[in-house]
Structure 1
Amino acid sequence: MKPTAHPAKKTASAGKSSDASADASADVSADVSGDVSADASADASANITRRIEELADWRGATLAHVRQLIHAADPGVQEEWKWMGTPVWSHDGIICTGESYKQAVKLTFARGASLKDPKQLFNASLDGNTRRAIDIHEGEKINESAFKQLIQAAVKANAEALAERAAKKKSKPRA
């Protein structure tokens, strides 16, 4: 059953990606603050699991491993399925996405440019003012401790941005 569209909700529909072989469609609804319903989160988690299984190679194993690291770093993380089949991990906003390509698994951090990266895990999308990405190629290992620290820093940055937006909203005079 598809959720009904609601004016205060944004909906993302999932579909096939170029390397998905089975139908991986589900609707995920999130309210404007980024909260995901339990049903939508379960559907998203099932879609991410299905994507990992469909990949059935080093990319699936890599995506499964970083998923486990994300959950270890932030037990409160929400899984979402957006933009025609992209795994997304959120907590008070998007932490990162996990895309699979033929040559790499790309983890794009929504606020990556504002995060400290002392171990220099970010190795892609370095020119922008907002995002940063980590491309993991076949055979490469990720520094697990540094990756978890990046996840935690992203969660903290999201919480700070959410608090800042709430404070601005509160301080706006109503006409």
Structure 2
Amino acid sequence: MSETTASEKIDARIAELGGWRAEMLARIRKLIKEADPAVTEEWKWENPVWSHGGIICTGEAYKAAIKTTFPKGAVLADPKGIFNSSLTGGTRRAIDFREGDTVDEAGFKALIQAAIAQNHSK
């Protein structure tokens, strides 16, 4: 019997969430893959993780939000002000996507690309 891949686990998480949270997580995943077709999908801490040269962001499901946490977000430029959570931490930043939120797709993709550039600058 083969082990379940990270991508399959993410598919399963989306399916089990249902509703707007499933739609939002699927949309975020699609945007990440559009921003970086070479992204690696991983499954860590019981959550989706996207990596390229290091972790880009995680995708966490909560009752009222889908949160994408950027572990090195504090050093990323955010000219569009997309980060709206974990703003006081010294290292990370996050985005809480709530039901009905409009996603700034270009701004989100720019953050993904900035995180990848940061990962490769070490």
TM-score normalised by structure 1 residue count? 0.68
Q: Is 1:77 the equivalent of 2:29?
A: no
Question: Displacement of 1:99 after TM fit?
Answer: 0.2
Figure out how many residues of one structure are paired with residues of the other and give that number.
Answer: 122
2:70 corresponds to which residue? 109
CA–CA distance in 1 between the matches of 2:67 and 2:53? 21
CA–CA distance in 2 between the matches of 1:68 and 1:43? 18
Question: Displacement of 1:52 after TM fit?
Answer: 0.3
CA–CA distance in 1 between the matches of 2:88 and 2:18? 32
Bigger CA radius of gyration: 1
Q: Secondary structure at the match of 2:5?
A: helix
Q: Extract structure 1 runs of 4+ deviating beyond 3 A.
A: none
Q: Secondary structure at the match of 1:151?
A: helix
1:143 to 81, 104, 116: 104
CA deviations on 1:67-120 (whole Å, 9 max, x unpaired) are 00000000110000011x110000000000000000000000011000000000
2:13 corresponds to which residue? 51
2:118 corresponds to which residue? 157
2:59 corresponds to which residue? 98
| AA in 2 matched with 1:152 | Q
TM-score normalised by structure 2 residue count? 0.96
1:127 to 84, 88, 94: 88
Q: Secondary structure at the match of 1:106?
A: strand
Question: Displacement of 1:141 after TM fit?
Answer: 1.3
Question: Percent identity over the alignment?
Answer: 57
CA–CA distance in 2 between the matches of 1:81 and 1:57? 22
2:28 corresponds to which residue? 66
CA root-mean-square deviation: 1.3
Runs (5+) with no aligned partner, structure 2: none
Question: Displacement of 1:142 after TM fit?
Answer: 1.0
Question: Displacement of 1:126 after TM fit?
Answer: 0.3
CA deviations on 1:109-142 (whole Å, 9 max, x unpaired) are 0110000000000000000111000000000011
CA–CA distance in 2 between the matches of 1:68 and 1:110? 20
